Amino acid sequence: MSVKLKSDNPSVVLQKVGEITFEDRPVPKITKPNYVKIAITNTGLCGSDVHYYETGSCGSFKVEKPMVLGHESSGIIVEVGSDVKTLKAGDRVACEPGIPSRLSHEYKSGNYNLCPEMAFAATPPYDGTLCRYYLLPEDYCVKLPDHVSLEEGALVEPLSVAVHANRLIDVKYGDTMIVFGAGPIGLLTAGVASAFGCNKVLIVDIVQEKLDFAIQNKLATHTFNSKNKSFEQLSSHIKSIWGENNYPTCGADATGNKFCTNMCIRSLAKKGRFVQVGMSGDNVDMFPISSVMERELTVKGSFRYSVDDYKYAVQLLNDKKINVEPLITHRFKFEEAIEAYEFSKLGKSIKIMIEGPKL
């Protein structure tokens, strides 16, 4: 697919809390031989973007100057550096938006997502991908198969978060999974668990429509609405699925809510593996340390994605092991990006997709 280069770079910029504007930023120039220039075609709206818009911060990161938003993106290569060998103009790619230092110990040890020098799109002080043109190193672009759409390509980013979480606790054939939270990351974490071989996947949330969505789209096999429910009622439901004295071997909390973390860990089988995916505060009470000790559980934290997670995610799409398109419940044109952020506040969407500027 041939794309003609344009001389402008319209961008969606967070000026300060509650204020987003459109700006024509300079068109970025390739100055490193292993970089490519991408015409961004699709960007998913992430919860972290909304946090920055509403509060000016997300976790420990705070917005201190105007910042281009967006990091869940796909696009078309329009220009390549002199050393690029695996990509060419016209290739459709999923964009991995975090670039570590190639010199850090974390990078060299294969844990580049933990690099202290990470330059991550739309994480202060770095600009994001809601613009016409964006630069990335060649090896942080994953080529999309012909039958995978650019919208699906934008969802490779949250799908990679789910892949990373499942890989961290070594989810495999024969395992069973319980996931708390039926937002995009929770739904995808459940879906990836199924794709990795779990024959029973229970997803827990307080919104019945989200639970119904998980079943209808084969992202989970069972659900539990935990609104005003006790842990004993959850345990009874688990027994109805797994049988007496049987429990999920794997668990993930995609909410960051202390009650969910507590119940998820307490729901696991002996020698079970738990991963915390949803971001929470620095100090969380109600952590069930006795359950961890008495059952010899493995507890891990998960942060973004790392080596090969993007490739695994694209492979899942290529092999039709997971269907991500139904998660896109609302679409906005680039010129409607501000409306998209306002609409996200209503909580009526699963995933909002914003088109890139016209090619």
Residue-wise pLDDT for 207-253, tens only, equals 999 999 999 999 999 999 999 999 999 999 999 999 999 999 999 99
Instruction: Give the pLDDT of residue 4.
Output: 83
Model pLDDT for residues 286-300, shown as the tens digit of each residue: 999 999 999 999 999
Q: Where are the alpha helices (DSSP H) in the chain?
A: 47-55, 105-108, 150-154, 156-168, 184-195, 208-216, 231-242, 258-266, 289-294, 309-318, 337-344
Q: Please, what CATH class does the domain formed by 162-301 belong to? A: alpha beta
* Two tokens, residue 296: 């010899």
* 41 CB neighbour count, 10 Å cutoff: 23
Q: Judge if the upstream peptide bond of residue 125 is cis by omega within 30 degrees of 0.
A: yes
Instruction: Give the pLDDT of residue 58.
Output: 84
For the chain, the residue count is 359
Q: Where does residue 54 rank: exposed (0-12), middle (13-18), buried (19+ CB within 10 A)?
A: middle
- pLDDT-flagged residues of the chain (< 70): 1
Instruction: Give the pLDDT of residue 61.
Output: 87
* Two tokens, residue 359: 């090619």
Per-position DSSP letters for 165-188, written without gaps between them: HHHHTT--TT-EEEEE--SHHHHH
* Two tokens, residue 77: 């290569």
246: β partners: none
Domain boundaries, the chain: 10-155+324-355, 162-301
Q: How far apart are CA 322 and CA 319, in angstroms?
A: 8
Closest CA to 78 of 129, 22, 136: 136
- Cβ 40 vs Cβ 75: under 8 Å: yes
92: β partners: 76
What is the C-alpha radius of gyration for the chain, rounded to an integer number of angstroms? 20
Q: Is the pTM of this model over 0.85?
A: yes
Q: Please, what CATH class does the domain formed by 10-155+324-355 belong to? A: alpha beta
- Cβ 303 vs Cβ 277: under 8 Å: no
Q: Which residue has the tokens 């119940």?
A: 263
Q: How far apart are CA 196 and CA 217, in angstroms?
A: 16
